[in-house]
Amino acid sequence: MLTRKTDSQFNLGTVTFVQLQILRFIGGGFMLSTKGTQFFQNGKPFFYLADTCWSAFTNITLEEWQYYLDYREQQGFTAIQMNILSQWDASGSDLDILPYPITQSGAHYQYDFSKPNHEYFDRAEQMVAAVQAHHMVPVLVLLWSNYVPGTWSANMNINNQMPFDEIKPYVSAVTERFKKFSPIYFVSGDTDFPTEETVNYYREALKVAKVHDAGALYACHIKGRLAEVPAELLNQLDFFCYQSGHNLAGQNTAYTIPSALRAQGYQKPIINAEPCYEQISYSRNLYGRYDARDVRQASWSSVLSGADAGITYGAHGIWSWHRLNHSFGIVQGEGFDAPFDWRDALHFDGANDIAYLKTIMEQYFPNGATAVQTKLHCEESIRISVNENRDRYAIYLPTNTILDLNPLKITSTNASAYVIDLNKRQQYPLKFTDSTHLAMSRSEADSVIIVDIKGA
């Protein structure tokens, strides 16, 4: 077990005990709000750029945490997604620290939820304080799906289902503990809603959380390619989260889900909270891994299809905090190949691509972008958005081609254009070849075309 430190002994980089107290006092200054389809922080638009670090509290040393947060802050991330309870599919850890004592029973185990490990939660609080000290918003999952009866992962992994009577004391304790850091809460993690019992668990968790942290923002993190949340929960949530996930056949849900939600009239923020992770393998034992270009396509397709409040990035090795030669829990369960060591995964260049996405959106679409359903080139994977004044379009082009802008009623006489090469992160003007056709750019991979309407 880790040696427990008091607050006065704790020092994580430059975050001292006194500074933590200041952070706790000014915590409200970090609090987010929503207006329409966007997030705001202190009255200014806030682009949600989150990294996925589900296994932070069980797998990461404090020294590693400091290095990780320094690096992600430097890249421009604005949020970190973490699981409050231990992740059922985390990589193996030498830290030997868990939220509750275990009662072992053959291949399965069960927590004694009546006996919280205060050392674990004290340490988690220190780590959340460090997230805020690095000017990022902590995003905390209350109940990952394996803790809730009836869900797909509870049926796959029969461990740690929380007794219903333990929801109130657990949620009360963690929301009281963490609310000083102005977190966002995911009430659920990677969940479906197959039974009334399942819904009742999340109903109770949300009700209790709002009693203790009424000012926070709430959403549900749902399983891959799922597009629905029970109406009674959805109406109480501040924004909608989905995940296009890691199934090769379901990658188009990056854009089909937000497009459908907007078409149905949903007017709150939407986030793709789990696009395909960089270098994770295709699920269901399919051979192959997603590279940076795949991650860019999922991310840009999401943001330009209605999920424009932000995006989440994940690296295969960071989310489970993997160490070389350690175990990885779901190679067999969900058919994923082994992760990279976290020290390699942290430096995957795709994270810089997604940080560049944030830069482009903040520069050219600071107030968000509305999806345009018009098809170009008869190809639905070419995604289009327009700004609030309808004088600037963004067109995501997965593969280079000549574009005919006539379906958008855009011509060489009323518009100018330039290309953003997403692989090289370069921008340059783009000419029309005739009244409606844009020349093909020099981009060898995917790109975003910005079209400005003259005199609009």
Sketch the domain layout of the chain as residue ranges: 17-367, 374-453
Q: Do residues 100 and 111 lie in contact, with contact meaning Cβ atoms separated by under 8 Å?
A: yes
Predicted structure pTM score = 0.93
What is the Cα–Cα distance from 407 to 186, expressed in whole angstroms? 40
CATH code linked to domain 374-453: 2.60.40
SS3 431: coil
Which has the closest alpha carbon to 383: 301, 309, 276?
A: 301
How much is the mean pLDDT over the chain?
92
The 10s digit of each residue's pLDDT in 47-81 is 999 999 999 999 999 999 999 999 999 999 999 99
CATH code linked to domain 17-367: 3.20.20.80
What is the Cα–Cα distance from 277 to 113, expressed in whole angstroms? 32
Q: Residue 21 — φ and ψ, nearest 5°? A: -65, -35
Count of other CB atoms within 10 angstroms of residue 293:
16
The 10s digit of each residue's pLDDT in 154-210 is 888 767 899 999 999 999 999 999 999 999 999 999 999 999 999 999 999 999 999
| Cα angle value 228/241/219 (rounded, 5°) | 95
Looking at the chain, the whole-number percentage of residues with pLDDT higher than 90 is: 85
What is the Cα–Cα distance from 19 to 76, expressed in whole angstroms? 22
**What is the CA 117 to chain-centroid distance, rounded?**
28
